[in-house]
């Protein structure tokens, strides 16, 4: 359970920090609804990432308990990179669109 909460905190913080351009631009333009939606999306993605992190950690622990010395979940790491890059692309694109309005 500690893995879940640590991952939740770290993932949500990373998403909010990397999405700060859209928060700043939307606040300057007075679009509080956009800020709220992106914050809720960051929290929802953080919960999802935390759940997957906890599941991956559990699977790696079971793999080590079975006697395998090298237990890494490479698919999970790649999945996190796709989510992170997707989030950054979307937030920067939306920030640019809002800035041009």
Q: Is residue 74 part of a domain?
A: yes
- Mean of the per-residue pLDDT values for the chain? 91
Mean pLDDT value across residues 86-94 = 95
Number of domains observed in the structure of the chain: 1
pLDDT value at residue 11: 93
pLDDT value at residue 44: 96
Q: Is residue 101 part of a domain?
A: no
Q: Is residue 27 part of a domain?
A: yes
* Stated pTM of the model: 0.86
Q: Is residue 14 part of a domain?
A: yes
Alpha-carbon distance of 34 to 63, in angstroms, equals 43
Q: Is residue 100 part of a domain?
A: no
Owning domain of residue 56: 2-94
- pLDDT tens column, 18-77: 999 999 999 999 999 999 999 999 999 999 999 999 988 898 888 889 888 888 777 888
Q: Is residue 77 part of a domain?
A: yes
Alpha-carbon distance of 47 to 11, in angstroms, equals 8
**When comparing pLDDT for 47 and 79, which is higher?**
47
Q: Is residue 45 part of a domain?
A: yes
Q: Are 44 and 86 in contact (CB under 8 A)?
A: no
């Amino acid at each position: 359970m500690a893995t879940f909460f640590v991952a939740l905190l770290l993932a949500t913080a990373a998403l909010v920090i990397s999405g700060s351009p859209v928060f700043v631009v939307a606040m300057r333009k007075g679009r509080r609804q956009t800020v709220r939606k992106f914050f809720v999306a960051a929290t929802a993605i953080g919960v999802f990432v935390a759940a997957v992190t906890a599941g991956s950690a559990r699977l790696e622990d079971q793999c080590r308990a079975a006697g395998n010395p090298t237990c890494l979940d490479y698919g999970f790491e790649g999945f996190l990179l796709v989510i992170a890059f997707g989030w950054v692309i979307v937030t920067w694109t939306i920030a640019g669109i809002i800035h041009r309005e």
